[in-house]
Amino acid sequence: MNQLIERRKVTARKEKPDSASLGFGKYFTDYMFVMDYEEERGWHDPRITPYEPVHLDPSASVFHYGQAVFEGLKAYRSEDGRVLMFRPDQNIKRLNKSLRRMSMPPLDEKLALEALIQLVELEQEWIPIEKGTSLYIRPFVIATEPSLGVRPSKRYKFMVVLTPVGSYYGDQLKPIRIYVEDEYVRAVTGGVGDVKTSGNYAASLQAQRKAEELGYDQVLWLDGVEKKYAEEVGSMNIFFIINGEAVTPALNGSILGGITRASVIELLKSWGIRVREEQVAIDDIYEAAMRGEVSEVFGTGTAAVISPVGALHIHGETIELNNGLIGEVSERLYETIAGIQVGKVRDSFRWVVEV
Q: Which of 29, 134, 300, 302 binds ligand COI (CB under 6 A)?
A: 302
Q: Which is nearer to ligand COI, 260 or 322 (CB)?
A: 260
- The CA distances from residue 351 to 55, 84, 301, 304, 354, in Å, are 37, 10, 15, 18, 10
CB of 147 to ligand COI, least distance (A): 28
143-172 residues near ligand COI, rule: CB under 6 A: none
Alpha-carbon distance of 137 to 157, in angstroms, equals 16
Task: Find out whether 91 and 71 touch, Cβ atoms under 8 Å.
Answer: yes
**Binding pattern for the stretch 63-92 against ligand COI, x by CB under 6 A and - elsewhere:** ---------x--------------------
CB of 160 to ligand COI, least distance (A): 13
Closer Cβ to ligand COI, 96 or 322, answer by number: 96
303 binds ligand COI (CB under 6 A): yes
Measured from the CB atom, the residue of 165 and 280 that comes closer to ligand COI is 165
Site track 165-204 with ligand COI (rule: CB under 6 A), x = hit: ------------------------------------x---
Residue whose C-beta lies closest to ligand COI: 72
333 Cβ neighbours under 8 A, 6+ residues apart? 264, 267, 268, 298, 300, 306
Whether the Cβ atoms of residue 72 and residue 305 lie closer than 8 Å to each other = no
User: Strand 218-222 vs strand 176-181: parallel, antiparallel, or unpaired?
Assistant: parallel
Question: Is there binding between residue 233 and ligand COI (CB under 6 A)?
Answer: no
Which residues partner with 138 through β-bridges?
A: 161
Alpha carbons 302 and 291: distance in angstroms, whole number: 32
When asked if residue 238 is in the footprint of ligand COI (CB under 6 A), the reply is no
Cβ neighbors of 69 (< 8 A, separation 6 or more) are: 95, 98, 99, 102, 104, 140, 141, 195, 196, 197, 198
Min separation Cβ 258 and ligand COI, Å: 8
Shortest reach from residue 70's CB to ligand COI, in Å: 7
Is 99 or 289 the residue whose CB approaches ligand COI more closely? 99
Q: Which is nearer to ligand COI, 27 or 201 (CB)?
A: 201
| CA 127/CA 345 separation, integer angstroms | 19
Among the listed residues 139, 140, 138, 142, the one whose alpha carbon sits nearest the alpha carbon of residue 67: 142
Element (H, E) at 307: strand 305-314
Which CB sits closer to ligand COI, 72 or 224?
A: 72
Smallest distance from ligand COI to CB 98, Å? 11
Q: How far is the CB of 111 from ligand COI (least distance, A)?
A: 22
**What's the min distance (Å) between Cβ of 233 and ligand COI?**
10
What is the 8-class DSSP label of residue 308?
A: E
Please spell the DSSP secondary structure of 149-203, one letter per residue.
SSS--SEEEEEEEEEEE--TTSSTTSPEEEEEE-SS----TTSSTTS-BHHHHHH
**Nearest-CA neighbor of 138 among 8, 33, 235, 42?**
33
139 scored as a contact of ligand COI (CB under 6 A): no
235 binds ligand COI (CB under 6 A): yes
CB of 293 to ligand COI, least distance (A): 29
Q: What residues line the site for ligand COI (CB under 6 A)?
A: 72, 201, 235, 301-303
